[in-house]
């Protein structure tokens, strides 16, 4: 029997007040009242089915994402957390995160979320500039964003702020102002990343007047320098942290750990005792899901795809990638990827040590080119 990796739980809450033009996550704008009670009941039934696949492993961390999970009422979150604890064992110091929207009607619920067991909040601020918020179709103002942060700080010291750069008509001064505003409230974690317009989003077909590549590069370098001087350590391509507050759930992804994914459109990854890895995809149709049709697909990851998927996550981190870890998480011999490693070394995307590999600065800049080497 192989050594099974740690496992986390991801829960998808698909509803939003409004679908943002840049968002490519599965979300649903409901014109009717959200069927919270029915959805929570079926989330827990969905979990019961997947629990049979994890061989009694304890759940390390829980992440409630979306969509906008903070649309749910206090009682729904309480029922969800209590239901999870009845069905799986949690590690003693599990991190339980909820994504939150800084809209005044929602952040007043944060205190009760905390009482239900939530111990980490992730606030999708994106920018503190009210004009830019309108341009990226967010539904709140700078004032509401700040009020939400202040409310979080009253009840919980561990929280993340999401900030984006490269927004339409955004200047370098705007970028640095956003970071200064975020740091003023001393979040333990900052996710700072570039706006991208994916093909399946509304923004993809729009003329958005985005900053030039040269300006994006300046924003990135100036912003990184500012965050570093402010005491934030970059531990992943778009993640900055103070002290010990790395996002444990995301680290599990990047270390190629397992995770159960429950809820509409949720994805999961589960390693079997024979070393095979399966991907689960849940039904995106809310009505079908509420009627008990949870699983849309279950796929076996091929041996060739395992290496690509491992490095797609591991290369994001600013730390060595240990060869032993690669073999344990993929059940693949190093000899099977020797040609790809050789090519990555030749292109100076990575360096090789006796027991590990490390991504070079060039490798981080040209990450997509590096990953293509391992793509089947």
Q: Quick one: pLDDT at residue 209?
A: 84
Task: Verify that 228 and 323 share a domain, yes or no.
Answer: no
- For residues 282 and 10, the answer to whether their CB atoms sit within 8 Å is no
Task: Verify that 214 and 327 share a domain, yes or no.
Answer: no
Q: Is residue 268 part of a domain?
A: no
- Tell me how far apart the alpha carbons of residues 306 and 316 are, in angstroms, rounded to a whole number: 16
- The arithmetic mean of pLDDT across residues 331-339, rounded, is 95
Q: Quick one: pLDDT at residue 131?
A: 94
Q: Is residue 263 part of a domain?
A: no
Band the pLDDT of 335: cuts 50, 70, 90.
very high
Q: Tally the domains of the chain.
A: 2
Task: Verify that 234 and 341 share a domain, yes or no.
Answer: no
Q: Is residue 46 part of a domain?
A: yes
Band the pLDDT of 23: cuts 50, 70, 90.
low
- For residues 160 and 121, the answer to whether their CB atoms sit within 8 Å is yes
Of the residues 252, 287, 319, the one at which a domain ends: 252
- Tell me how far apart the alpha carbons of residues 163 and 170 are, in angstroms, rounded to a whole number: 13
Of the residues 218, 237, 252, the one at which a domain ends: 252
Domain limits at 356?
303-376
Q: Is residue 320 part of a domain?
A: yes
Residue 19 sits in a domain whose CATH number is 3.20.20.70
Task: Verify that 222 and 315 share a domain, yes or no.
Answer: no
- For residues 21 and 136, the answer to whether their CB atoms sit within 8 Å is yes
Q: Quick one: pLDDT at residue 32?
A: 74
Reported pTM: 0.94
Task: Verify that 247 and 307 share a domain, yes or no.
Answer: no
Band the pLDDT of 155: cuts 50, 70, 90.
very high
Task: Verify that 169 and 311 share a domain, yes or no.
Answer: no
- Tell me how far apart the alpha carbons of residues 131 and 160 are, in angstroms, rounded to a whole number: 23
Does residue 103 or residue 70 have the better pLDDT?
A: 70
Task: Verify that 86 and 175 share a domain, yes or no.
Answer: yes
């Amino acid at each position: 029997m192989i050594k099974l990796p740690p496992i986390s739980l991801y829960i998808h809450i698909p509803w939003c007040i409004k679908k943002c033009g840049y968002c490519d996550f599965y979300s649903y704008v409901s014109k009717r009242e959200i069927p919270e009670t029915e959805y929570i009941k079926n989330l827990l039934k969905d979990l019961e089915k997947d629990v049979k696949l994890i061989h009694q492993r304890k759940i390390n961390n829980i992440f409630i994402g979306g969509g906008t999970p903070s649309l749910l009422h206090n009682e729904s979150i309480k029922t969800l957390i209590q239901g999870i604890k009845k069905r799986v064992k949690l590690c003693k110091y599990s991190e339980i995160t909820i994504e939150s929207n800084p809209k005044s009607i929602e952040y007043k619920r944060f205190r009760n979320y905390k009482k239900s067991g939530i111990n980490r909040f992730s606030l999708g601020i994106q920018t503190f500039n009210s004009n830019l918020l309108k341009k990226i179709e967010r539904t709140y103002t700078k004032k509401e964003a700040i009020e939400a942060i202040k409310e979080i700080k009253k009840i919980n010291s561990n929280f993340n702020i999401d900030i984006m750069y490269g927004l339409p008509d955004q200047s370098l001064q705007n970028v640095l102002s956003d970071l200064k505003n975020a740091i003023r409230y001393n979040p333990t974690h900052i996710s700072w990343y570039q706006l991208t317009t994916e093909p399946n989003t509304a923004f993809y077909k729009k003329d958005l007047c985005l900053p030039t590549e040269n300006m994006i590069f300046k924003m990135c370098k100036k912003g990184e320098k500012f965050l570093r001087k402010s005491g934030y350590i970059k531990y992943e391509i778009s993640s900055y942290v103070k002290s010990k507050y790395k996002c444990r759930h995301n680290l599990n992804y990047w270390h190629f750990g397992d995770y159960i994914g429950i809820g509409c459109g949720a994805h999961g990854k589960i390693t079997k005792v024979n070393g095979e890895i399966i991907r689960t995809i849940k039904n995106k149709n809310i009505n079908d899901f509420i009627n008990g049709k949870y699983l849309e697909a279950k796929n076996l990851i091929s041996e060739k795809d395992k290496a690509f998927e491992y490095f797609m996550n591991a290369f994001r981190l600013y730390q060595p990638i240990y060869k032993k870890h690669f073999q344990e998480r993929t059940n693949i011999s190093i000899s099977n990827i020797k040609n790809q490693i050789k090519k990555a070394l030749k292109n100076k995307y990575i360096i090789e040590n006796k027991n590990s590999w490390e991504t070079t600065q060039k490798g981080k800049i040209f990450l997509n080119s590096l990953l293509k080497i391992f793509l089947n």
